[in-house]
Amino acid sequence: MIDLIDTALTAVLRERGVAAELARHFPDRDPAQVQAVADAVAPFLGGLVGALRFMLRATHDTRAGRAVAFANGQILGYVLDDRDLLSERELGPLGLLDDAYLVHRHAAELIAQYPWLEAHAMDYVVPAPSALDAVARLLPEGVAAALERTSRTLVGVAAALIGTQAGAVVASELASPIDPDRVPPPPRLRLDDPQSSI
């Protein structure tokens, strides 16, 4: 399935062209400026599928996979919804800017929360801050900040709700790289004072 998405996205980006779409939506801008923005945005959009592949591989991680899958589901729900903030129907490939921004920010947040997931990134690299900033400036005011908060919150909720395998130490508590052979003890129910909770 993801290969089909990759093929379709590549075809759309090649056929419609990011520079042509930007020029269509910003006809009064200097063509050199439009081309410079397109040069930053095109690889950002093209990297969307690589980020999705990373997100999928990260769900297979034995320590954090369940939490990652929980957060990923919410992100994918947004990406696949035709009624998200920017319409692909109206904006063509530029309608994917919000989706790509959310997915790339989410991938970065996963690696920040669970540093060992970077091994699952393989050929995917989180876009440079300059690329994220260029896209953030294209998005309507406040959208980039909202998408970033959404990802951070989702990953944080997933970590708190599901955590890592059997309650393993989360990234913020790591003093050194995690030992992949270490199996943490299973979580225990607390029943210290049952009367106080009734």
Q: pLDDT of 11-67, one tens digit each?
A: 888 888 899 999 998 999 999 999 999 998 999 999 999 999 999 999 999 999 999
Mean pLDDT for each 10-residue chunk of the chain (198 residues)?
87 88 91 91 94 96 94 96 88 93 97 94 92 92 95 95 59 47 54 48
d(CA 132, CA 172): 24
Residue whose token pair is 């910003």: 26
d(CA 96, CA 98): 6
d(CA 17, CA 112): 33
Could you give the 3-state DSSP secondary structure of residue 132? helix
Instruction: Give backbone dihedrals phi and psi of 110, rounded to 5 degrees, phi first.
Output: -60, -45
